[in-house]
Amino acid sequence: MKTNRKKIIMVDDNRTSLTVARDALTGNYDVFTAPSGEKLFAILEKITPDLILLDVEMPEVNGYEVIQKLKNSERTTNIPVIFLSAMIDPESEIKGLNLGAVDYITKPFSRELLLKRIDLHLLLEAQKRELKRYSSNLEGMVVEKTQTVFELQNAILKTVAELVECRDDVTGGHIERTQNYLKLLVELLLKSGIYAQELSSWDIDLFIMSSQLHDVGKISIKDNILLKPGKLTEEEFEEMKKHTIFGKEIIEKIEESTTENDFLKHAKALAASHHEKWDGSGYPHGLKEAEIPLQGRLMAIVDVYDALTNDRPYKKAFTHEEAVEIIREGLGRHFDPQVNEIFLRHENEFAKTEMSGNIYSHRPKPSSKLNAIFKTVSNIVDIRSGMESGYTERMRRYLKIFLDALLEHDLYKNEVSAWDIEIFLMSAQLHDVGKIAVPDTILNKAGKLTAEEYEDVKHHEDFGVKIIRQIQENIGEGGLLHHALALTGSHHEKWDGTGYPKGLKGEEIPLQGRIMTIVDVYDALTNHRPHRDMVDHKNAVGVIKNLSGTQFDPGLVTIFIEREREFERAVGV
């Protein structure tokens, strides 16, 4: 019959000692006795004890030799051993502890002392096992979490890239294809030893992921140029060429507010230089040969190959063979000769490359990069909507003040305390992401909007929800995005049900949206907007107080008013 009692083996060549120990311990443990080291190992073939009591002075094989054999076996190395000895001197005790014993007990021993020492070491051993199990589980959780974060980073970048593609009316899949081509090109260069030293210093996954932003500057190009179906005029082409400058500026804005330069250095180089040419005839700076960052030289060839082999509004797709010949003609003029040579040598592999599979090695990434990605999206939205710099950081400060206050009140404390506050604050940067899909003629209008234009602007919440859901679809998991979804879809709802997009009322509105609407209105009132002047802090507080119970949750307004001085101080921080 199996028992849950701990098993102890007592090893001693003195039968009296064995009997005394067995009688002392039997009431608490399953006790096995062995008169020698040889007998001990015979018993160990059948059972694995929780602890071994081991006599030091034994004939033939002494206790020191026995413990050495125990510690050299993977099966028995973790079994705690307590030495028993009639004579203990410091040198012998140190020797035994160095060999792996956990304690010494002097013979003759009292039953109470023996039980206490055994209980202590069994407890310590149980705690060690629990700590090891916890550490192992924690490591697995960290790996899983960081992997999820990396996938979320990529999903957000992919969504931004898709938004750029949609505005540009480019054949779908351009971003994913160029990523696959880049990965193949880098692998071929590393195999051939070309630029291997520089490439081996890169985080290749990060480089491939960053390549999705190479055309991000197109978000700042006017619709009438970006969406023109026919050939651009010379003036329009000059404007289009500025997308490389705009892309670099967008990424530099992000650099100002994040330390994630490893992530941004590739994105900036790609955005700024992928239209430079080897002979210096490219744009925007007319860089020549090695003056062009390697990232741009790699992107140039895969970008052109993809453009040639796919339909565009102004041309039909070329065959692979025709595209290869055009690229061959660009050897030494448009493209880096060494990179071009590798492409031509392996052109059949590029023809076979398909849009499938995961192109990343899935090494864990620091979760701090997630905030840099959110900032990327937020900055792009701010640039398109003409928002002044500092808006995103102010909103973060206001929300932090609000959340700290809520955690000190009974009102909504239980709900807020269950949130991951950092994820909430990062997610808040996405609350206006839907504005990225609003036409710039409306988004940047200086005067008052018409009723029709206002209806179009109101759709930015629906667009935002679609964008967040697209990110969820790209990643296949949306746990980290539930705050972003709630904030994006509900920050223009009103307490009395007159808001949009769904006309939610009271606590039907997610708490995230009810908080955001107060800080969003406060920031809008205390800063200049194209259609009106700013008001001072006191008047802004008065407006919010007057709208309690109509636009705003009355309980949240009360808390806002309690902390309004903190909001005032945070305006100019």
Ranges of each domain in the chain: 7-109, 146-352, 385-571
What integer pLDDT is reported at residue 355 of this predicted model? 47
pLDDT confidence of residue 162: 53
CATH number for the segment(s) 146-352: 1.10.3210.10
**How high is the pLDDT of residue 360?**
43
Does residue 436 surpass a pLDDT of 60? yes
Lowest mean pLDDT among 57-71, 336-350, 369-383: 369-383
pLDDT, average across residues 344-361? 71
Which residue blocks in 193-242 are alpha helix, DSSP H?
196-200, 204-210, 223-226, 234-241
Compute the C-alpha angle 358/362/363, nearest 5°. Answer: 160
SS3 label, residue 540: helix
Q: What is the pLDDT of residues 38-58, one digit of tens each?
A: 999 999 999 999 999 999 988
| pLDDT band per the 50, 70, 90 thresholds, residue 109 | confident
pLDDT category, 381, cuts 50, 70, 90?
A: low
Q: CA angle at residue 263 from 261 to 266, to 5 degrees?
A: 95
E strand or H helix at 53: strand 51-55
CATH code linked to domain 7-109? 3.40.50.2300
Give residue 171's pLDDT band: very low, low, confident or very high (50, 70, 90). very low
Listed range (360-369, 423-432, 473-482, 560-569) with the worst mean pLDDT:
360-369
| Least trusted range by pLDDT, from 130-139, 201-210, 329-338 | 130-139
Separation between Cα atoms, residue 556 and residue 567, nearest integer Å = 14
Distance between CA 97 and CA 101 in Å, rounded? Answer: 5
3-class SS at 501? coil
Q: Locate all alpha helices (DSSP H) within 213-283, ordered by sequence.
A: 223-226, 234-241, 243-255, 261-273
CB 12 within 8 A of CB 21: yes
Task: Encode pLDDT of 478-534 as tens digits.
Answer: 455 788 889 889 999 999 999 999 999 999 999 999 999 999 999 989 887 665 678
* pLDDT for the residue numbered 368: 43
pLDDT at 369: 45
Predicted pLDDT of residue 338:
96
pLDDT over threshold 50, residue 318: yes
Per-residue pLDDT at 473 exceeds 60: yes
- Decide yes or no: CATH 1.10.3210.10 for domain 385-571: yes
Closest CA to 558 of 544, 539, 537, 538: 544
pLDDT over 50 (residue 356): no
Q: What is the mean pLDDT of residues 310-339?
A: 88
How confident is the model over 195-214, as a mean pLDDT? 88
Distance between CA atoms of 230 and 389, rounded to whole angstroms?
A: 36
pLDDT at 537: 93
SS3 51: strand
pLDDT (0 to 100) of residue 362? 42
Residue 164, pLDDT > 60, answer no
Residue 225 CB contacts under 8 Å (≥ 6 apart), including other chains: 232, 236, 239, 240
pLDDT-derived band at 189 (thresholds 50, 70, 90) equals very high
Q: How does residue 474 score in pLDDT terms, banded at 50, 70 and 90? A: low
**Exposed, middle or buried: residue 373 (CB in 10 Å: 0-12, 13-18, 19+)?**
buried
Q: Check residue 230 and give its pLDDT.
A: 74
- Which residues, 6 or more positions from 202, have their beta carbon under 8 angstroms from its beta carbon? 266
Lowest-confidence region among 213-227, 300-314, 384-398, 488-502: 384-398
Q: In this predicted structure, what is the pLDDT of residue 443? A: 66
Per-residue confidence (pLDDT) for residue 277, from 0 to 100 = 96
Give me the chain's average pLDDT, please.
Answer: 81
pLDDT exceeds cutoff 70 at 172:
no
Residues 6+ apart with CB under 8 A from 137: none
Secondary structure class of 236 (helix, strand, coil): helix
Share of the chain above pLDDT 70, in %: 79
Structure tokens at 232: 């651009």
Least confident of 389-393, 420-424, 473-477: 473-477
Strands of the 30-34 sheet, one edge to the other: 30-34, 7-11, 51-55, 81-85, 103-106
pLDDT classification of 367: cutoffs 50, 70, 90? very low
Q: How many CB atoms lie within 10 A of CB 4?
A: 5
**Tokens 């003036």 map to which residue?**
235
How many angstroms separate the CA atoms of 542 and 9, rounded? 79
Q: Which residues are registered as beta bridge partners of 552? A: 548
DSSP annotation string for 2-41: ---S-EEEEE-S-HHHHHHHHHHHTTTSEEEEESSHHHHH
Strand, coil or helix: 443: helix
Furthest-apart CA atoms within the chain: distance in Å: 107
Torsions phi, psi of 552, nearest 5? -115, 150
Which residue(s) pair with 85 in the sheet? 106
Q: Which two tokens stand for residue 143?
A: 């790996």
pLDDT digit string, tens, across residues 239-291: 889 989 988 887 777 666 555 556 678 989 999 999 999 999 999 999 999 99
Report the pLDDT value the prediction gives residue 359, as an integer from 0 to 100: 47
* Residues in Cβ contact with 267 at an 8 Å cutoff, skipping those fewer than 6 apart: 210, 213, 214, 216, 251
CATH topology of 7-109 equal to that of 146-352? no
Q: Which of 8-17, 344-353, 409-418, 464-473 has the lowest mean pLDDT?
A: 464-473
DSSP β-ladder status, 51-55 and 81-85: parallel
Q: Where are the beta strands (DSSP E) in 74-173?
A: 81-85, 103-106
Residues in contact with 53: Cβ distance below 8 Å, sequence separation at least 6, in sequence order:
8, 9, 10, 11, 12, 21, 82, 84, 105, 118
Give the mean pLDDT of 85-100.
83
| The pLDDT of residue 566 | 92
